[in-house]
Structure 1
Amino acid sequence: MRDFDFLLGWAAPGSAAHYDPAKLRPEDRVRAGQARAPRADLDWRASRALIASLPPGGPVGSLSHSGGHALCVLVAPGMPGARVGVDLERIRPRRVADLGRWVCDGAEQRTLARLGEGSRGQLEYFYMLWTLKEALVKAAGLDFPGAMQRIGLDGEPGSASRLRAPAGAWGAMVLSLGPDWIAALAWESGGAAAAPRLAWHAGPAAALPPCRLLGQWQGAGSPLL
């Protein structure tokens, strides 16, 4: 009996040195020979070295990578049918107002504007929204970017905001990983969206960063129009 529902795996650029094509999953072997730019190749090698290092058991439910770092989620065998999604983003300056018009609804855009263009608080909240939306898109198999405005959060940062999710009993959390990274996990297990038991796994040559919970939500979603 595993002591977790979801195992979160973390990789760093050094993990890429442990990449072994012989340990690829069948679905990755057919893609292994594709030409990639250097940055994309680093992401590929680090993320696949991470997957190869995971303990045997349930499937890898979702994967995200950026800048040689990677985050994946392994679903425990006791969670059959669970839908999960993860997203990982580095906090960096962005044109938040422009991106917000693309992926946020009107209320989210107004909240971002009140936080001040270019401020650290605005960037952190934007990446909270972005990673949360991407995790839900991946978990629910929604269109990107078409569904991004219709999912997210209702409410102000730091308040009792409400998860705006697709139909089903959804849960989600957003995490700060060290000073530079924001990550989100979304799940739907067919029942109550209670907080899952989480465990962490560091990939080869990777140290787990300090982790801080920025927000956690659960509730029933509604069909997307």
Structure 2
Amino acid sequence: MEDPVPGQMRTAGTALLGALDGAARARAARRFDDDAARRWLEYRPRPRPGVCLADLDRTGRKAAHRLLATALSPAAYAQAMAVVALEEVLDRAEGWRRGRHSGDYWVAVFGDPARDDRWAWRFEGHHLSVSMTVVDDRVSPAPVFLGANPATVRHAGHPVSRPLGVEEDLGRALLDAMGPAARTAAIVADEAPADIISATRPRVAGPIEPLGVPADRLGPTGRAMLD
């Protein structure tokens, strides 16, 4: 059965560009061979290649969201929307000092989805970066990053919002399912680092030790959780 996703992406990407006026389209539409822009990765709130959703009308914003939805399952799309909404929560927690806002997400299209065999797109902002490359109607989904800040919002001791709770719980359960030797090989630091170890660089300076646990060293429960 033919994969419908490439066609859905092509339709949504074409609709997005068609929904933008001249200035917005000029910011959003990039050449496929614009490597500096296409390989950009920035999970912090910074200006970036593309057009900002806050600068689009409702039709343009909806077109951008529909393109994003072609890449994500309904559950992952809900997580992504929760990450976006958290910008307002975080701005309040920081005393409104930084002016964070849920419109500070950017979309870019590389190449012409209506005509080209090779094209790509990216939807990106604070703690959300989704990049898709389509070549001969095959989708390569990378890089993809979701984060959450705050990770949990609580009321009376109960979580009100926890967008990545499923993944957090699975990660901890996987560690619990390992024996002591495997946990020693899996944990790279007793305390979490201040940020992603690679930050936005394509490579890390020096190897990360320990290297981790091969899947074939996990028991049936651990392997099932990894899968």
TM, length-normalised to structure 2: 0.23
Q: Which has the higher strand share?
A: 1
Greater RCO (Cα-Cα under 8 Å, separation 6 or more): 1
Larger radius of gyration: 2
